């Protein structure tokens, strides 16, 4: 039987288990998802035809609180992927000390092929199919790949229709006017920025002397590029699903973002008043971007981008995983042997779920915070947990990834053991 994404993800758990003292009961439970749901979603298309889409929702663990995780729309979505993402979310929430378990959802679809009307019908149909599986105290949804605030708003509205009451806390990442939180849209990038500054400073890697390449120019990648450029880092390469651009002297990130939003393309455009000139740059592939000779590489696209096949080509000194699962376990070993520091996804991109937690709290209290307060709370959370993971990595002389799983495992183990273990029952 071929190895699945979940098999690969589970290897990180096995490595961390050597360094923790949790019960056999707890480790056994963490190797299996609590519940998985597969649904068919019939959608009436604009031309009158009927299409059936496959949808998924996995609640991996809810020991520490209701499940929490995004919903992605992508042609490659499958149960194995969703289960792996829910697994990572479980450890991410524990790592950040959030009162959530891990969950994830998705629909197998290319959303670019759907009209806005079809997209809305699909989103509402998904909620119709999984309504009994989710809820503010059971499993809370959020945006992920190719989903956004508008889609989250449709989902929250549909759930409220089904429940016959306004239920904003069932979904985070909603429009502000529907109970969304300030700072949520940029939270993943902002959290990653805090982690990067903290880690790079430990190696005396100053912004002005640091070159960066970013694979993935979606919401997280694009906003992070802005933050890094404004802080003095030299962003020399960026890419999206169609390819990328590279300029040794650095890129004008705001102009690239403007061009991509305007024309759905990727070019380095420098603008002055109404005159725009294309700056000298090289067009590169995503594979070429990964092997650039830069200080920092940021995979911010999809999983399995760095594998055993291309890990030997990586030249960056530091990799910060903004995407979920962009590096396979086999590639991890190669990168570690090359002396490359990998800062894991469950820490780097945890800003999104952290501000989702803030949104959930605000929804339940009916009291909303200002952006400065949200960013202050986010920064405190990210810095605190980054320092703890760093300390664990130094204490046990392990990678930052293993240290992050050790940290999350300790918290999950305590919660699972609090319900009773084999030793507890035998000694009573």
Q: Catalogue the active-site residues.
A: 104
Nearest Cα to Cα of residue 281 among 244, 233, 243: 244
Distinct helix (H) and strand (E) counts, the chain: 15, 14
Are the beta carbons of 232 and 315 closer than 8 angstroms? Answer: no
Check: CB of residue 152 under 8 Å from CB of residue 143.
yes
Contact indicator for 192, 220 with CB cutoff of 8 Å:
yes
Report how far residue 57's alpha carbon sits from residue 141's, in angstroms, rounded to the nearest whole number.
10
Distances from the Cα of 261 to the Cαs of 132, 173, 235, in angstroms?
A: 37, 20, 19
Can you name the residues that pair with 278 across neighbouring β-strands?
Answer: 269
b or e along 13-30 (b: 16 or more beta carbons within 10 Å of the residue's beta carbon)?
Answer: bebbbebbebbebbbebb
Give the Cα-Cα-Cα angle 16, 17, 22 (nearest 5 degrees): 130
From the list 306, 269, 270, 268, the residue with the least C-alpha distance to 286 is 306
- Count of beta carbons in the 10 Å neighbourhood of residue 196: 27
Question: DSSP H helical segments within 108-243, as ranges?
Answer: 116-130, 149-163, 187-202, 219-230
Phi, psi of 406 (to 5 degrees): -60, -45
Rounded to 10 deg, the angle between the 187-202 and 371-396 helix axes is: 40
């Amino acid at each position: 039987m071929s190895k699945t994404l979940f098999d690969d993800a589970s290897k990180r758990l096995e490595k961390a288990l050597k360094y923790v003292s949790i019960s056999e009961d707890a480790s056994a439970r963490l190797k299996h998802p609590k519940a998985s749901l597969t649904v068919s979603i019939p959608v009436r298309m604009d031309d009158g035809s009927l299409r059936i889409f496959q949808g998924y929702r996995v609640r991996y663990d809810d020991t520490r609180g209701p499940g929490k995780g995004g919903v992605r729309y992508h042609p490659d979505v499958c149960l194995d992927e969703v289960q792996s993402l829910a697994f990572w979310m479980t450890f991410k929430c524990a790592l950040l000390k959030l009162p959530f378990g891990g969950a994830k959802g998705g629909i197998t679809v290319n959303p670019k092929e759907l009209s806005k009307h079809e997209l809305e019908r699909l989103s509402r149909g998904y909620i119709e199919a999984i309504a009994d599986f989710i809820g503010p105290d059971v499993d809370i949804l959020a945006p992920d790949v190719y989903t956004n605030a508008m889609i989250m708003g449709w989902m929250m509205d549909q759930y409220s229709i089904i429940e016959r009451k306004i239920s904003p806390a069932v979904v985070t990442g909603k429009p502000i006017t529907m109970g969304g939180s300030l700072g949520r849209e940029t939270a993943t990038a902002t959290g990653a920025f805090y982690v990067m500054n903290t880690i790079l400073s430990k190696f005396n890697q100053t912004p002005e002397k640091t070159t960066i390449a970013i694979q993935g120019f979606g919401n997280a990648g694009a906003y992070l590029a802005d933050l890094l450029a404004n802080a003095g880092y030299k962003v020399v390469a960026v890419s999206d699903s169609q390819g990328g651009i590279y300029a040794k002297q650095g890129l004008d990130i705001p102009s690239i973002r403007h061009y991509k939003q305007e024309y759905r393309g990727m070019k380095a455009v420098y603008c002055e008043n109404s005159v725009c000139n294309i700056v000298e740059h090289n067009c590169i592939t995503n594979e070429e971007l990964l092997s650039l000779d830069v200080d920092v590489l940021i995979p911010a696209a999809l999983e399995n981008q760095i594998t055993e096949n291309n890990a030997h080509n990586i030249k960056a000194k530091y990799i910060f995983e903004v995407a979920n699962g962009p590096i396979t376990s086999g590639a991890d070993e190669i990168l570690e042997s090359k002396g490359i520091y990998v800062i894991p996804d469950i820490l780097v991109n945890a800003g999104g779920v952290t501000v989702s937690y803030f949104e959930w709290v605000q929804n339940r209290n009916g009291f909303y915070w200002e952006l400065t307060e949200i960013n202050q709370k986010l920064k405190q959370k990210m810095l605190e947990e980054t320092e703890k993971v760093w300390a664990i990595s130094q204490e046990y002389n392990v990678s930052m990834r293993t240290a992050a799983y050790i940290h999350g495992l300790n918290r999950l183990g305590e919660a699972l053991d609090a319900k009773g273990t084999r030793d507890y029952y035998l000694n009573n």
